[in-house]
Amino acid sequence: MVANAQGCTVKFLRSRRGIALVTAILLILFLFRPGVRHLRYRIVGSISSALGRRVTLDNVRIHVLPRPGFDLEGLVIHDDPAFSAEPMVRAQDVSAAIRLSSLLRGRLEIATLSANEPSINLVRNDEGRWNLASLLDRSAHIPAAPTGKPASERRPAFPYLEATHARVNFKIGQAKKSWALTDADVTLWQESEDSWGARMTAQPVRTDFNLTDTGTIQLNASWQRAESLGDTPLQISAQWQKGQLGQVTKLFSGGDRGWRGGVTFVASLSGTPNALLVRSQASIEDFRRYDVMSNRSLRLSTACTGKYSAQDSALTDLSCESPVGGGVIRLKGNAVGSANMPRYDLTFVAEKVPISSFLQVLRHAKKGLPTDLVASGHLDAEFRGVRTESDKRFTGQGVATDVRLVSGSEKDEVIFGSVPLTVSNANQSRTKSGATGSVSKVIAAAEAHLQIGPFPLAMGATGPASAAGWLSASGYRFTLRGDTEVKSVYRLANMIGLPGFHPVAEGAARADVNIFGQWQGFAAPQSVGAAQLRNVKTGMRGLNPPIEIKSAILKVDAESVSLEKIAAQTGDTHWTGAVRAPRQCAREGCVFQFDLGADELSSSELAEWFTPHPSKRPWYRVLTSGDSPGKSPLLAIQARGRLTIHRLRFKETDASQIVAQVDLDRGKIMLTGLRGQVFQGTHQGDWTIDASVMPPHYQAKGQLQNVSMAEVSAAMSDDWASGTADGKFDLESSGVSFAELMGHAEGDIQFILRNGTLPHIELPDAARPFPVRTFAGSAKAKNGNWKLSSGKLESRDGIYQVSGTASPVNGLNLIFTRGDEQSWNITGTLLKTNVAHATRTEARTVVKP
């Protein structure tokens, strides 16, 4: 109707009569220009009478083209004091077009009022009424003609109000909210004698955040005159399109919850404010978590109907329905929105909803799920929530029937069977003790929650196992208790996308495990609990042989994972003790702690741990990180602890009662306080072995006491010495074989041999085998060459000064000098010596520095 009236006006102005009329008006305005002050009062009065609000204006300028009217500066439309002391509308630049026909009657009527970038305040008072509703109610009782009235109509017409690029602010009481509408285009007009119309297009924002992708809101409304605002017939259609889910959640909650998707909301309202019929549809296109990428798009949608009464803020006969696969999800009930205490009575119903549909949603909401995971079964449930002024209760139950998960082309399957569901109210918690007696956890939430199970779970063991859990608004917890196969536990963890280290292992366990977490921030689930392991076989890539755990107690808490009371075997070696590993650390910074003991271990096995040989990979080999095949994992980890070895077998001898504090840092082994028994004597010292380089590098500092040289000779397969020896050493070398170690040795040693013999040294006039009461000295090594100086050997026939050199290449070159200045030159090797008289010149040459 407004468009038709404007078209008639344009047609009239183009006619001869219209042109003549405009010319006459322009001439009148030129000859009899009204005073600005008086004109401003006239305009203010015209707008004020049309809107029923006090209006102020700073300045007025007259313009005649393209249509006679005024440019208004500093227009302020004040609010009803019952709502706010701030203006309802404030606009710096406003264009007012006048009705030409009103000038002929001696009146000034505003036909169109156009504001650019105005600020509009919408206020709701403590009684729940809006200032806009009050304005509309006031306008409905003003006897104004429709906006597009005919020229013959003598009554003042309701002006055509429009605002472009407006900002709409919201206030609740005296508090201005952070929500606002920007870039709003708003129009308001009187459609007919008893009806009005309005349109709006705007973008919702928050003043405290920079939101750029919240979408566009479109609103079309029409209403009719009535005795009271509550009985006003109205029709409203609203659309919210192209909103991004993360930005929309931040708009309402103040934070981006991490969800993505395109939001669309369509609603229609018809009736009166006290009895509105509401129909709506909401959908989210391509729903997903922000860090989950999928080739398949997921659409979530629902359609709702209900009746709303603005008088008591009540929503009744609510009915929402979402078809899901071959089933349906429904929400029915009533709700009353109160600022102090909202009340509701809602019922949630799920009928034959496929579990596969829940899995589809879960794929877009959780990381780590296998791509080939398939779920079967269906859900039937009915839950009810009731909140009154004094109480809040939740009841209901359901069952998920024939639930099973299959992954890996049906090779891995977990059967859940029928899973009971029950809604429990807040503050109903109970405690269960763990299977090991060391775990006791509250397994029910302290708030209203959905209780899942308990239900039997097939985990491959002969004994029973059961699972249970709960979900609440803030978090979740699930438990697994009973006998299970280790591989079944890791298979289940892989299926549900539980992060962590999942080795390939086989064996039995009695578990009491809790998995829990918070929804907020997508925090990774935490796991705590304990398990008794029995006959578990596992291994580590690059480490031979496999690890067989006869029994152990696995404990998991928020900080660490530990194996206690270990009884395990690698090859022929039996191990006992405990191992602890931290959970919250980067791979490069994780330090394992241990206290291990071995009954018997060979040096060749120990060396193979750090320099393994390629071998066939059996089924139990652990698939760890991207280390190259054949590389020992011990070259990549950090560990610290105590090691005890009852017997350490070398090629030709044994050591026993070995104890050391071990620090392992990516192949560098530090043995502090290394004590043990060897060659019937004792050793004590500190060793450092760097196996991260080839050949390995060694550093050793310590002492030997009461070593049997007969045992040393036997280890060398030649009885070249006997007696008891002590020694101190500070050496370093590198190599793989004994010859390489001797050839690269550097450092010094101090020694003393007591009450022994040197059978391979045959000096003239000396007893055989050559007796030694004491033989003390010190030697220095450099590049594999050993130099002995100031050696003193006391025998039956005198005291000898011993000096000279020894090396793996040149052998021995020693000088024995007796007190009567007789000297003998010892050459050859330690196992095959040659003795000859030496002149003084030869003796001096040997001992020359």
CB atoms within 10 A of CB 699: 16
pLDDT band for position 444 (cuts 50, 70, 90): low
Which stretch of DSSP H or E encloses residue 103?
Answer: helix 100-104
| Residue 405 and residue 373 in contact, taking contact as beta carbons nearer than 8 Å | yes
Q: Per residue in 23-54, is it b (16+ CB within 10 Å) or e — as a string?
A: eebeeeeeeeeeeeeebbeebbebbeebbbbe
Query: Above 90 in pLDDT, residue 532?
Result: yes
> Using CB atoms within 10 A of its CB, is residue 321 exposed (0-12), middle (13-18) or buried (19+)?
middle
* Averaged pLDDT, 62-81: 83
Q: In this predicted structure, what is the pLDDT of residue 30?
A: 46
Q: How far is CA 654 from the centre of its chain?
A: 52
| The pLDDT of residue 32 | 43
User: Rounded CA gap, 475 and 634, in Å?
Assistant: 39
pLDDT band at 779 (very low <50, low <70, confident <90, very high): very high
Q: How far is CA 59 from the centre of its chain?
A: 60
Alpha helices (H) along 210-337: 245-253
- Token pair recorded at residue 484: 């299970």
In 495-600, at which residue ranges do the beta strands (DSSP E only) sit? 506-518, 526-540, 543-556, 560-570, 573-582, 591-598
Q: What is the pLDDT of residue 382?
A: 96
Which one is predicted more confidently, 635 or 106? 635
Residue 410's DSSP bridge partners are none
Comparing CA positions, the residue from 99, 88, 84 lying closest to residue 53 is 88
Residues paired with residue 479 on neighbouring β-strands, in sequence order: 468, 514
Q: Tell me which of 321-325, 339-343, 584-588, 689-693 is least confident.
A: 584-588
**CA–CA gap between residue 189 and residue 3 (Å, rounded):** 11
Residues 6+ apart with CB under 8 A from 352: 326, 327, 328, 378, 379, 380
* pLDDT score, position 625: 40
Please give the pLDDT value at position 776: 95
What integer pLDDT is reported at residue 215 of this predicted model? 94
pLDDT digits (tens, 9 = 90+) for 584-610: 777 667 888 999 999 998 877 776 666
Cis peptide before 273 (omega within 30 of 0): no
Amino acid, res. 249: T
3-state secondary structure (DSSP) of residue 505 = coil
* Distances, alpha carbon 178 to alpha carbons 146, 207, 242, 250, in Å: 36, 5, 21, 12
| Per-residue pLDDT tens over the stretch 633-647 | 667 788 999 999 999
The identity of residue 106, as a single letter, is: G
What per-residue confidence (pLDDT) applies to 18?
58
Specify whether the CB–CB gap between 333 and 346 falls below 8 A: yes
**Residue 108: what pLDDT?**
63
Token output for 178:
């952070």
Residue among 527, 483, 526, 524 nearest 507 (CA)? 483
Average pLDDT of every residue of the chain: 83
User: What pTM did the predictor assign?
Assistant: 0.73
Give the amino acid at 617.
Answer: R
Mean pLDDT to the nearest integer, 792-808: 90
pLDDT for the residue numbered 335: 94
pLDDT of residue 469 exceeding 60, the answer is yes
pLDDT band at 147 (very low <50, low <70, confident <90, very high): low
Which pLDDT band, with edges at 50, 70 and 90, does 31 fall under? very low
CA separation for the pair 637, 216 (Å, rounded): 55
Tokens coding 519: 């929804």
The answer to whether residue 109 scores a pLDDT higher than 50 is yes
Domain limits of the chain?
Answer: 312-425, 433-515, 694-849
Candidate ranges 386-395, 617-626, 631-640, 656-665; pick with highest mean pLDDT: 656-665
Q: How far apart are CA 813 and CA 843, in angstroms?
A: 10
Q: How many CB atoms lie within 10 A of CB 679?
A: 22
Q: Is the pLDDT of residue 535 over 90?
A: yes
Q: Report the alpha-carbon distance of residue 232 to residue 212 in Å, rounded.
A: 36
pLDDT classification of 619: cutoffs 50, 70, 90? very low
**How many whole angstroms separate alpha carbon 384 and alpha carbon 348?**
6
Q: Which of 116-130, 459-473, 499-513 is predicted with the least confidence, judged by mean pLDDT?
A: 499-513
Q: Is 75 exposed, middle or buried (0-12, 13-18, 19+ CB in 10 A)?
A: buried
Cis peptide before 66 (omega within 30 of 0): yes
Would strands 654-665 and 668-678 be described as parallel, antiparallel, or unpaired?
A: antiparallel
- The pLDDT value recorded for residue 478 is 92
Strand (E) or helix (H) holding 92? strand 87-98
pLDDT tens across 312-323, in order? 889 999 999 999
User: Distance between CA atoms of 101 and 179, rounded to whole angstroms?
Assistant: 43
Contact 384, 450 (CB under 8 A): no
188 versus 38: which is more confidently predicted?
Answer: 188
293/515 Cα distance (integer angstroms) = 25
Tokens of 781: 């090594």
Q: Using an 8 Å Cβ cutoff, are 274 and 238 in contact? A: no
pLDDT tens digit sequence for 546-581: 889 999 999 998 888 999 999 999 888 999 999 998
CA angle, 227 then 233 then 235, to 5°: 155
Do the beta carbons of residue 328 and residue 322 sit within 8 Å? yes
> Mean of the pLDDT values across residues 156-161?
76
| Tally of CB atoms within 10 A around 364 | 21
Let me know: does 129 contact 123? Beta carbons within 8 Å.
no
Residue 658 has pLDDT above 80, yes or no: yes
- Only one residue has tokens 């439309």, namely 77
**Longest distance between any two alpha carbons in the chain, whole Å:** 158
